[in-house]
Amino acid sequence: MALLEVRDLQVSFETPDGTVEAVRGIDFSLQPGEGLAIVGESGSGKSQAMLAMLGLLAENGSASGVARYRGQDLMAMTPPQLNAHRGKDIAMIFQDPMTSLNPYLSIERQMVEVVRHHQGLGRREAQTHAVEMLRAVRIPDPEQRIKQYPHEFSGGMRQRILIAMGLLCEPAILIADEPTTALDVTVQAQIAALVREVVARSGMASILITHDLGVVAGVSDKVMVMYAGQVVEYGTTEQIYHHPQHPYTRGLIASVPRLDQVDDRQLHAIPGNPPNLLDLPQGCSFRERCGAAFEACGAAPELAAAGQGQQVRCHLERDA
């Protein structure tokens, strides 16, 4: 049985300009220990899909579909039922380490609270456990530093603390939403390596949400590419990087300048603008920006098998 099984997950938001369909039916499953990356640009629905699953949508949002964690549907749970799973079985790390910690509480208070709630440990044991976790993410002097407040740490250190908090209850799934985006390059490298290391050591499954194809390459086994609220391509990391089949995936990979390649040519930019979710084109959502579009693209393509487990949502001839 898959650890997590998501079927036809849909998310929409009521806005003054109309209903925005942010996620338009995504399906995926996650096996124990597997690393999945969800790649997409702003507005692709990658974060909202995960927030919906954990019952964390904004007030004007609503979701439907099924998200089974070990057979139990998270989407059908009441908030108290969800609380029993959030942080314990499924933990989430957010992008901004500056705003995800409570500035009024010491790190110790924030960490101990989580462990005591979920694991019923006594104060002493919870403290010891929290210190161990800080040591695991390589915070120097964890016994002393745990007494400090968020503002006394640098951005990279705060992100380490968030990772430690995510790992406190040894969740089966760790969801990380752009964990390195807000950090400097040299710190990014440290944090990406840390995420890779803790995931490998604990054997937990992970979902990495990101726009950065460089980060994905090192962390994940499988990649799901999203565009305008839909999955447009799914495959192993090698398939996506070396054999992308959807024109959007190809465009995305080609538009990133690479430091290890001397290249004086023009970057391959994807023409046009990001999709307006209130006014999507008929048929394939990527059609107006796609260099390969033809008549068939007037009808919406289905996500279909494209050989060796790869899946593509495109009318172009797929590799069988």
Partner 1 sequence: MSANMKRRVGPGQAKPVLKVQDLAVHYQLEQGGLLRSETVPLRAVDGMSFELYRGETLGVVGESGCGKSTLARALLGLVRPRRGRVLWLGQDLTQLDEKALRKKRKEIQIIFQDPLASLNPRMTVGDIIAEPLWTFYPKIARVQVEERVRGMMKMVGLLPNQINRYPHEFSGGQCQRIGIARALVLNPQLIICDEPVSALDVSIQAQIINLLRDLQRKLRLSLLFIAHDLAVVRHISDRVMVMYLGRAMEVASADALYRRPLHPYTSALVKAVPIPDPALARQPVDTGLTGDMPSPLNPPAGCVFHTRCPYAVKRCQLEVPPLRRLEHGDWVACHRAEELDLTIVKRPSSTV
User: Which residue do the tokens 């279909």 mark?
Assistant: 304
- Residue of 1, 16, 42, 71 that binds partner 1 (CB under 8 A): 42
User: Which residue do the tokens 């964890």 mark?
Assistant: 142
CA distance 187 to 102: 22
Nearer to partner 1, 69 or 286 (CB): 286
Q: Under the criterion CB under 8 A, does residue 78 sit at the interface with partner 1?
A: no
CA neighbor of 21 nearest in space, from 312, 311, 300, 304: 300
Q: Under the criterion CB under 8 A, does residue 121 sit at the interface with partner 1?
A: no
- Residue of 104, 185, 279, 317 that binds partner 1 (CB under 8 A): 185
Q: The sheet that has 61-69: what strands, in order across it? A: 18-30, 4-15, 61-69, 72-73
Candidate segments 14-22, 119-127, 142-150, 250-258, binder of partner 1 by CB under 8 A: 250-258
The vertex-205 CA angle with 72 and 38, nearest 5°, equals 95
In the bound complex, what is the minimum distance in angstroms from residue 75's beta carbon to partner 1? 29
CA distance 251 to 178: 21
In the bound complex, what is the minimum distance in angstroms from residue 249's beta carbon to partner 1? 11
- Residue of 15, 99, 154, 282 that binds partner 1 (CB under 8 A): 154
Q: Under the criterion CB under 8 A, does residue 199 sit at the interface with partner 1?
A: no
Could you say which DSSP state residue 75 is in? G
Neighbours of 275 (CB within 10 A): 19
Q: Under the criterion CB under 8 A, does residue 320 sit at the interface with partner 1?
A: no
Largest interatomic CA distance in the chain: 67
- Residue of 78, 257, 295, 320 that binds partner 1 (CB under 8 A): 257
Residues found near partner 1 in the complex (CB under 8 A):
41-42, 154-157, 184-190, 192-193, 211-219, 237-239, 241-243, 251-253, 255-260, 262-264, 266-271, 273-274
